Amino acid sequence: MLDFIYQAFAARIVFGSGKVSEIAAEVDRLGGKSALVISTGSQRAVADAAIERLGGNFAVRIDGAVMHVPRADVNDAVALARRQGCDSVVAIGGGSAIGLAKGIALDTGLPVIAVPSTYAGSEMTDIWGISEGDGKVTGRAPVVVPKCVIYDPDLTRDLPARLAGPSGINAIAHSVEALYAQNRNPVLSMIAEEGIRALASGLPAVCAGSAGDEERGRAVYGAFMCGLALATATMGIHHKLCHVVGGTFGLPHAETHTIVLPHATHYNRDAAPEAMAAVARALGADSAAGGLFDLALRIGAPTALRDLGLEEENLDRAADIATAAPYYNPQPVDRDGVRRLLDDAFHGRRPGSDA
């Protein structure tokens, strides 16, 4: 019997090639008369064009948003926005630009228009994160959810394979965990499966540098779906492990997710058969975990933690930390199982192989 809660965030999505030209119209639609425009380095030219179209509705810009949203940057941006009397924020770029916009929204309540240029998915969520000292403070707040998201696949035209591959599989990881989440429901599952299918069908051509509008669009559409899945699903062993291993040993975020995902999926294979079937179906593969591993290989993404500079002697500590506190996962989390999982991920073995 169907019995579930599906929570959605109201947002307006404008999707299509060339839609960055709608930024000014969307600011106007929100009643914005004085926009702050944030961009990452790679999106400077897009920001230039948007500013020109904004005309008198443009107030001030911030170029070069950096990773992990430093508290000092948020404070500076909030002060700037207040000084200039800004009434809206446009963020053009990846998770870093959108993260800074969310930080501003958290402090000021200003509405955000997000224009993502990677597959990270932050634009669809109510999750914010700000770095303070050695750590990152995160939370959820409805005020940081962008009022409008403009997905323009053209922005990913120059996304290099070394960023596109891990960014895409990181997005897929959100959908894989949504499929076996504690709060899974039919709507979430439909969105998650669609996200995996679309990204997996677009990414190979994107990473090979042979993508046309069709493949680029499919990958960005998949990122939209995976972001939607992340917005409401509770996460399991995969995210716990990536957080612990990546955070403790300073490994790159998206690459760590890319490597761990097939192994975390394999760990849950018997406890979440419906999720496994959905992932395999979406990938057109015989098995969920094997299909995810093969996708990473095919797009030239990393498959072994040792290649990220992790030392083998740290695996015991990683397993200890990852199993110290209980959390929901379809397959009960035990230390020996997690240690084996990490060993496979460290050496880059294909899940299910005896090598």
Find the distance separating the first CA and the last CA of the chain, reported in whole Å: 43
Q: Residue 166 CB, nearest distance to ligand NAD (Å)?
A: 8
Nearest residue to 217 (alpha-carbon basis) of 205, 202, 227: 202
- Tell me if 95 contacts ligand NAD by CB under 6 A: yes
Alpha carbon distances (Å) from 227 to 9, 31, 348: 12, 26, 27
Q: Is 226 a residue that touches ligand NAD (CB under 6 A)?
A: no
CB of 11 to ligand NAD, least distance (A): 13
- Rounded to 5 degrees, φ, ψ at 123 are -60, -20
Q: For ligand NAD, which is the closer residue by CB, 164 or 319?
A: 164
Q: Going by DSSP bridges, is the β-strand pair 88-93/135-140 parallel, antiparallel, or unpaired?
A: unpaired
Interface with ligand NAD: number of residues (CB under 6 A) = 27
Exactly one of 18, 31, 41, 309 binds ligand NAD (CB under 6 A); that residue is 41
67 binds ligand NAD (CB under 6 A): yes
CA distances from 325 to 101, 178, 268, 328, 341 (A): 33, 21, 18, 10, 18
Is position 156 an interface residue for ligand NAD (rule: CB under 6 A)?
Answer: yes
CB burial readout 71-97, b (16+ within 10 A) else e: eebbeebbebbeeeebbbbbbbbbbbb
Does 274 contact ligand NAD by CB under 6 A?
Answer: no
**Pairing of the two strands 112-116 and 58-63:** unpaired
Residue range at the interface with ligand NAD (CB under 6 A); choices 20-28, 92-100, 277-285, 318-326: 92-100
Region of 14-22, 46-54, 151-159, 332-340 interacting with ligand NAD (CB under 6 A): 151-159
* Residue 104 binds to ligand NAD (criterion: CB under 6 A): no
Selected binder of ligand NAD within 20, 81, 89, 99 (CB under 6 A): 99
Span from 30-38, 157-165, 213-221, 285-293 in contact with ligand NAD (CB under 6 A)? 157-165
Stretch that binds ligand NAD, among 24-32, 35-43, 213-221, 299-307 (CB under 6 A): 35-43
What count of other Cβ atoms lies within 10 Å of the Cβ of residue 212?
8
Per-residue interface string for the shown chain with ligand NAD, residues 166-205, x marking contact by CB under 6 A: -x--------------------------------------
CB of 2 to ligand NAD, least distance (A): 28
| DSSP class per residue in 290-314 | HHHHHHHHHTT----GGGGT--GGG
Distance, in Å, from the CA atom of 59 to the CA atom of 36, rounded to the nearest integer, reads 6
Q: Are 231 and 188 in contact (CB under 8 A)?
A: no
Residue for token digits 């895409």? 168
Residues 246-265 binding ligand NAD (CB under 6 A) are: 253-254
User: Is residue 127 a contact residue for ligand NAD (CB under 6 A)?
Assistant: yes
Please tell me the distance from the alpha carbon of residue 40 to that of residue 51, in angstroms, as a whole number. 15
Neighbours of 280 (CB within 10 A): 19
Q: Which is nearer to ligand NAD, 161 or 285 (CB)?
A: 161
List interacting residues with ligand NAD (CB under 6 A): 40-42, 67-68, 93-97, 99, 117-118, 120-122, 125, 127, 129, 155-156, 158-159, 163, 167, 253-254
